[in-house]
Amino acid sequence: MNWRSIFLVMVLGVGAWTAAEAAEGKVTVQVTNAPLAEVLQSLQEQTGVEIVLAEPIEERLTLNLTDVPLETALKLICQAAGCTYRKEDGRYLVTAQERPAPMAAPPSPAPEEGRALVHHGFEGEVEGWLAMGGEVKVTTEKVRVHTGTGALEYRYTLAPETFNFLLRPQPGDLTGARSLRFWLKTSHDAALLVIITEADKSRYNAVLFSRANTWQHINLSLDRFLLADESTDENNRLDLALIGNLALMDVTSLLAQMAQKSLPPEERHLWLDEFEVSTGEAPTSYTVRPGEQGPELVWDNFEGGFLPWITLAGQVELSPDTPLGEGHSFHWKYEVQPNQLTGLIALFPRTPAAAQARGISLWAKTSTDTTLLIGLEEGQAGPQGKPSYHTLLPLRAADGWQKYILPFAAFQPDEDKPDPNGRLDLNQVNIAFFVDARLLQGQTGSGEMWFDEVRLIVE
């Protein structure tokens, strides 16, 4: 099933219930911020099976399930609401799950200072950095220097099917490193890959978005680097003692092609200052912390000082508007246009805890009523491409900030890219994408979304 079909079935309501489907106990749940009691009442009306809420449970749910067995729906609903159910005398009893009182998540820890294993200040020297396409030099112009008297300046021309990147060969033994830290500024909005390549050519990538003419302090945890799709590694682990090179690559033109946009060839600049590889911990590390539904893996809390998600269309920034009243959220402002993919791309955590996760928890807000399509793409390609799975999240402007729980069991496969094993394998997921589904309706218009505290609910 392609995205348009998913949208028609799940959003436009092409799912009126037949007597045969009801007899089989199949149900549909399409709710936004609905009380648990109303959701259970809907299941009872669809199936004719008595479902009793045995005690008051003040939970509100946002779920999108289509044509699933009744017990599957009950399981997902109870996971999201923090309750449990049992079958007794032909009916279902839903009760509160015994668990400790919710723990407030502590503030993100301040990054450890650590020790610099590599430090490049660019005070008169390019420090061994090379330009692959374009030119590199040290600039001393004050407006292009962040710290001291010099910075690295990379000048290149962005054009389709060209690769432009800065390369630092043989940085040395990086054993004990936990983060990359540097100041970055670009002359244009730019989607960048930060690349670490081992001596055996195994390549690991992290992504970030740079806003034009704005210095950003990048504090990037090494656990955010994922093995590139076309790369292999015998132990699937970044070996810091065997690093062949470090690189920064502009992939803006590649993403423009994905979004079906054209970018004219143009000269661009990238400035790099105070680059270091450090043993200190970054606030962007994938840590497991307490949450309302149990332990949660922090996917992105947007407290690293930079933009970790890439936009295919529109403008992004860190915003002080947050649901918890502190820190930053991720703010996306965009236009939905015909034949242009309007979305965001984020790398999915590749950790043992993430591989065992049962759902996504996130805070979101929108400026206009719409539906957000959230997709997960596995890295290993099948006969018809990389398998992907999707779910839909209706968002209403009047709701303001809301916390949403999205069980992975509710993600549906894209039938245009069938999965050979027929299941979502989280240990193979590389990227996630967030798309305004108005595009699939053939609609246009402007929009704004905010995201914060994006987490994975782990066992």
Q: In percent, how much of the chain has pLDDT > 70?
A: 89
Q: What is the mean pLDDT of residues 337-346?
A: 86
Q: What pLDDT is attached to residue 435?
A: 92
What are the φ/ψ torsions at residue 7 (nearest 5 degrees)? -65, -45
Q: Give per-residue pLDDT as tens, 143-152.
A: 999 999 999 9
Name which of 420, 299, 313 is nearest 351 in CA terms.
299
- Cite the beta strand spans of 161-258 per DSSP E: 164-169, 179-186, 190-198, 203-210, 216-221, 226-227, 243-250
Give the model's confidence band at 25: pLDDT under 50 very low, under 70 low, under 90 confident, else very high: low
Return the structure tokens found at 434: 């967030």
Q: What is the mean pLDDT of residues 64-72?
A: 78
What are the φ/ψ torsions at residue 46 (nearest 5 degrees)? -75, -35
Report the alpha-carbon distance of residue 37 to residue 216 in Å, rounded. 47
Return the structure tokens found at 32: 């936004």
Q: Is the CB of residue 341 less than 8 Å from the CB of residue 313?
A: yes
Report the alpha-carbon distance of residue 423 to residue 23 in Å, rounded. 26
Q: What pLDDT is attached to residue 165?
A: 93
Give the model's confidence band at 23: pLDDT under 50 very low, under 70 low, under 90 confident, else very high: very low
Q: Is the CB of residue 187 less than 8 Å from the CB of residue 288?
A: no
Greater confidence (84 vs 111) lies with 84
In degrees, to the nearest 5, what angle opens at C-alpha 196 toward C-alphas 301 and 159? 90
Neighbouring residues of 261: CB distance < 8 A, sequence distance ≥ 6: 313, 340
pLDDT surpasses 90 at 169: yes
3-state secondary structure 260-312: CCCCCCEEEEEEEEEEEEECCCCCCCCCEECCCCCCEEEEECCCCCCECCEEC
Q: What pLDDT is attached to residue 112?
A: 54
In degrees, to the nearest 5, what angle opens at C-alpha 331 toward C-alphas 224 and 436? 90
Q: In percent, how much of the chain has pLDDT > 90?
A: 46
Q: What pLDDT is attached to residue 82?
A: 73
Q: What pLDDT is attached to residue 54?
A: 84
Question: What's the order of all strands across the beta sheet hosting 190-198?
Answer: 130-132, 164-169, 243-250, 190-198, 203-210, 226-227
**Mean pLDDT of all residues in the chain?**
84
What are the φ/ψ torsions at residue 36 (nearest 5 degrees)? -55, -40
Greater confidence (269 vs 438) lies with 269
Domains of the chain, first to last: 12-96 (3.55.50.30), 116-278 (2.60.120.260), 288-457 (2.60.120.430)
Q: What pLDDT is attached to residue 195?
A: 95
pLDDT surpasses 60 at 430: yes
pLDDT surpasses 60 at 8: no
Residue found under tokens 């193979």? 428
Q: What is the mean pLDDT of residues 115-124?
A: 95
Give Cα 338 distance to the centre of its chain.
Answer: 24
Q: Give per-residue pLDDT as tens, 203-225.
A: 999 999 999 999 999 999 998 89
Report the alpha-carbon distance of residue 221 to residue 228 in Å, rounded. 17
Q: What pLDDT is attached to residue 293?
A: 64
pLDDT surpasses 80 at 98: no
Q: What pLDDT is attached to residue 324?
A: 87
Reported pTM: 0.76
pLDDT surpasses 70 at 110: no
Q: What pLDDT is attached to residue 258?
A: 66
Q: Give per-residue pLDDT as tens, 291-323.
A: 766 788 999 999 888 899 999 888 999 999 999
